[in-house]
Amino acid sequence: MDPVTSSSGPQAPAPSLDVSGLAYAYPDGHQALFGVDLTVGRGERVAVLGPNGAGKTTLVLHLNGILEAGSGTVRVAGLPVAKRNLAEIRRRVGIVFQDPDDQLFMPTVREDVAFGPAASGLRGPELEERVVRALKQVGMAEYAARPPHHLSFGQRRRVAVATVLAMEPEILVLDEPSSNLDPASRRELADILRSLDVTVLMVTHDLPYALELCPRAVILSEGVIAADGRTQDLLCDEELMRTHRLELPFGFDPRSVTVPSP
């Protein structure tokens, strides 16, 4: 979205994500969110941390309209998440699920990556260019003709990221991106994520990975944002971590890590 202009001159573009007072209760009466406020600027990489049952998945499902807010608002690049905008919102918010096999279902990698743009009406050379670019971004261009089920788990996860990048999203949402990856695949994915020119929201229990990739983190606990700040600062706050049932791996000291610049 281009910057808004007014009589007083150009204004800053809307943030990638603006969540205000978001509350939600499931049909069985379980209240999952109690008033979440979260703003994510363009190009930020933000980790969403929290114990099981904190409301992380519920929050993510509001970002592209899978769930409808009980109260409060969600805006993506200034556009309200509402029924009238769902097609555009779902193009702008790409979710990469924890299990890549939930996203890969076509006979070849190329067809999987082309599926979303083709469903949106893209055809011919423009579609092929979009597919090639997305696969190059994740280092999988040479595997375009391969069946996804012939790839390793790490390769399938990279292709799943490509299926979302092919839609040219505003926000890339990653659900436990490092789970079940071997060390080399974990590093390769981290390199890819750092290279992308998109806003990243990463839901993870892998606290060292959050520190490595996301300069900023929020802790979601009992349906509210309990903390928001520099990832390293949050992970070094032992009382905060203990209160919200977050534990670092044995022997890992976030103070000893030199955090790269955003």
pLDDT at residue 13 in the model: 82
Q: 133, 196 in Cβ contact below 8 A?
A: no
Number of domains in the chain: 1
Residue type, 119: A
* Cα 183 to Cα 140: distance, rounded to the nearest angstrom: 18
CB 94 within 8 A of CB 100: no
Q: What is the SS3 string spanning 127-195?
A: HHHHHHHHHHHCCCHHHCCCCHHHCCHHHHHHHHHHHHHCCCCCEEEEECCCCCCCHHHHHHHHHHHHH
- Determine the structural domain holding residue 56 and report its residue range: 14-245
User: Cβ(40)–Cβ(201) under 8 Å?
Assistant: yes
Is 155 among the domain residues? yes
Number of H helices, E strands in the chain: 9, 12
CA dihedral 3, 260, 256, 46 (to 10 degrees): 30
Q: What is the pLDDT of residue 258?
A: 79
> Which amino acid is it at 215?
P
**What radius of gyration, in Å, describes the C-alpha atoms of the chain?**
19
Residue matched to tokens 């390793």 = 152
Residue 262 lies in a domain: no
Q: What is the pTM of this model?
A: 0.90
Q: Which two tokens stand for residue 183?
A: 């060390």
Domain membership flag for residue 107: yes
What tens-digit pLDDT sequence spans the chain (262 residues)?
Answer: 444 444 555 677 889 999 999 999 999 999 999 999 999 999 999 999 999 989 999 999 999 999 999 999 999 999 999 999 999 999 999 999 999 999 999 999 999 999 999 999 999 999 999 999 999 999 999 999 999 999 999 999 999 999 999 999 999 999 999 999 999 999 999 999 999 999 999 999 999 999 999 999 999 999 999 999 999 999 999 999 999 999 999 999 998 887 766 5
- What is the per-residue pLDDT for 261? 63
Token pair 């979205």: residue: 1
Question: Can you give the CATH number for the domain in which 154 is found?
Answer: 3.40.50.300
Question: Amino acid identity of 231?
Answer: T
Is residue 184 domain-resident? yes
Q: Kindly report the backbone phi and psi dihedral angles of residue 149, in degrees, each rounded to the nearest multiple of 5, phi listed first.
A: -70, -5
Residue 8 in domain: no
255 domain-assigned = no
What is the predicted pLDDT for the residue at 257? 83
Residue 254 located in a structural domain: no
pLDDT score at 260: 63
Residue 25 lies in a domain: yes
Burial class, 55, CB count within 10 angstroms (exposed 0-12 / middle 13-18 / buried 19+): buried
